Chains A and B, each alone.
Chain A
């Protein structure tokens, strides 16, 4: 492991990669800060730029962008009470009241220190957990992978959909349908191409991510532009106050951070749960732990209340890389985008990545950590200046996002058809967003679609066409029972609500 860490450090600490991670953090912070745009959009917008990089540098850029966007999301939560992503909603509970009291700088500093500490602790967990889990997951067979992916899709739908499980499952089906377009890998039969040659290779992953995230998010901002409820209540962006944290506040943070980190990491490892649930749970848990006097301050600018969700959401971000790096199965929308990018570089994540491409495996983990250091050293002091990006008029912002999206597709194929297809999917996704259909299940299903099919077919071939592979191995059976349990629980919940 030490050797691996050194390889990772050697790659991640080259001058070129340090500059890349700094640019990534900076760009991610700016994109993540803009209300409505989250880490997935930030990563999607970076994909075309990574075409010119080697895989390790490309992934380092994305890791920087990811952490930058998470930090940027917290900034807009604290300053505007407008969380860019669900994962930072809980940050606004105490961060925004603190900003209203003229302590925006302090709130941002607490958020940054907590994120850094949460990230550091969970990076250590990741260092320990990933190699050992990689070894265990080598014993996984096709039926287990099939069952795990079904569990991932069900869990993401159950947890990412604000109680709208049915809509999330509909998005999963839509994602699987989109993934099945193109030539069948085994029989070379064209599926759902309607005789169009442009569809014979299937729809590209970048196109789907750009359309459903970057482009449709930009269109949604314009579409709902007249809605008075969505107008952000803005505090002064020029006077954020001091970023110094006093001794009493440091002691409070020191108590909160360890427990929230452990909780966040464990929740992040679970497929589908991720940063949102981790941050809410950490907020709730912290409230139970503190004294009655402190409890009263929750929702009014409590240090514990701000530090807990911030620590947990960053810890969960690192945790969500565990299933991606060890099993090759993303547990969240963001890691699904990362998986798509990895596959684009010709790298298949999974237990063998640790052995075949150790430099990539370790440099991604190391660069995640370097990204956090960069965020703390560079972004925090610069935040009063970066925050001014929030004042950029949307008249300029939206066309620039559309331009980046279309350029990404143009660079990939130099084909008009792909641009039209992207615009079409983005329009549909904009309307789906309006009715609160969640997009992460669609992306995850699209990325996993081909893998699910491959593993299902392989399992069927091995078991001679019989579906007995679903219960032959205890591991497969247990995973499938958990999946059925989640579906059953969702049905039970909606019955109770009726």
Chain B
């Protein structure tokens, strides 16, 4: 273990002398069972708390309606970015689903701060389950909650006029899951350092808003001024939104220029979707490792 201190010359106690008594023979809880426990408890709480789900959908819906409808007339056909017979609203729709997942994932990590405040985090941390299982369980529970939000948002597709295909939806959901797990892990890494709700909210809003606005979720990343184009390419969420959008559109017969508008380009080079996904996966694994390290720390 990383926390065995080298400075203290403790003589190893050998195998366990206490193992003599039958009471002390312990069954190690398997990793995936530990993950399940953490996940299950969060989901149990989530199902008891419908207000949270509705609350997490309110903002994306507002964006979809106000931004989408309001800007569709200004944008859309004729603006040069999107091809004719397509609307900004359609283009924006997968982005808004991504936005739902982003906000729900990140804010699900607030549960950790909440648990610290109300003491339950200690029950988790003194349990004989590995901290990595705690982090993975939490990341999966945050992702599950986010996916529920994202799937609910799909019901707006016919209203907005987006054509869906079964394959496209499944591809998109798989990609969203990757985004959701990564962002939940990111939230956990931050939340496990935070001692107050207010602190977490301030920090998260500070990080989340630029991540969202620069990701291309709300507008195409084409024809931007250079400084902004550069910033958007440094936003990890950019590489998650592009494949989500492409997978949804390319399977239901949207014109090529429309799909191209969704892809990430660097100069004249269009990043292949697999590279986008790879970038997100690498970042996701990194932040998950960070979250585990945070949870492993002892005072």
Q: Does chain A bind chain B?
A: no
Chain B residues engaging chain A, CB cutoff 8 angstroms: none
